[in-house]
Every structure is written in structure tokens, then in C-alpha cells.
Amino acid sequence: MFTDFSIMPEIEHSGCVVDLLSKAGFLTQVVEFINKMSVKADVVIWTTLLGASKVYKKEEVGELALEELVKLEPRNPSNIYGDLGRPVMLRG
């Protein structure tokens, strides 16, 4: 992108690619893209992938997205699990 247009790709550009590929059902390619991104994937990117994994019933991809979301927001897993309809395991 920089070579052709002198534009440095930012997280928003990557988010658009993730969203488009996810909506088209190319979840394996999305994971590959995320792993090659020049910027670190954020909550929006992983949430997009998680949503697409539910739509296309790709449990393995969904588990990956969920793991990454919990890493990014370790203090707030209840919202993530709640969105999935999963109970939260409380630690005592």
C-alpha cells in the first residue's frame, strides 16, 4: 500500500479487510491476514472474526478469536462470554 499509494496502512485499513473477508466467509484467510498485519490486532478485529465464526459455524476460529479477546481484555471476560451465551467461570 505504501509503495503504490504512499499511505501507511493503519489499524482501520486492516479492520476493513478483516470485515470484508469475514463477511465473505474467508475465515482461514482472515486469520492468516491478522497474523501478517503490520499492526497488532485490536478488540474490534477479533470481535469481527468472532462474529463471523458464529455465522459460519467455525468453532475453531471462534475459539482463537475468543482467546485473543480475553488476552486483550482480561478483566472483562463476562461481556465476551455473555455475547456468546456462555456462562462465566468464576474464580474463588
User: What is the rounded average pLDDT of the residues 57-66?
Assistant: 93
Q: What is the pTM of this model?
A: 0.80
Task: Determine the Cα–Cα distance for residues 9 and 65; give it in Å rounded to an integer.
Answer: 22
91: Cα separation from own chain's centroid: 26
**pLDDT given for residue 22 in this prediction:** 97
Each domain of the chain, given as residue ranges in start order, spans 2-84
| Residues 6 or more apart whose Cβ sits within 8 Å of residue 28 | 61
Residue-wise pLDDT tens digits, 24-54: 999 999 999 999 998 999 999 999 999 999 9
**How many residues are present in the chain?**
92
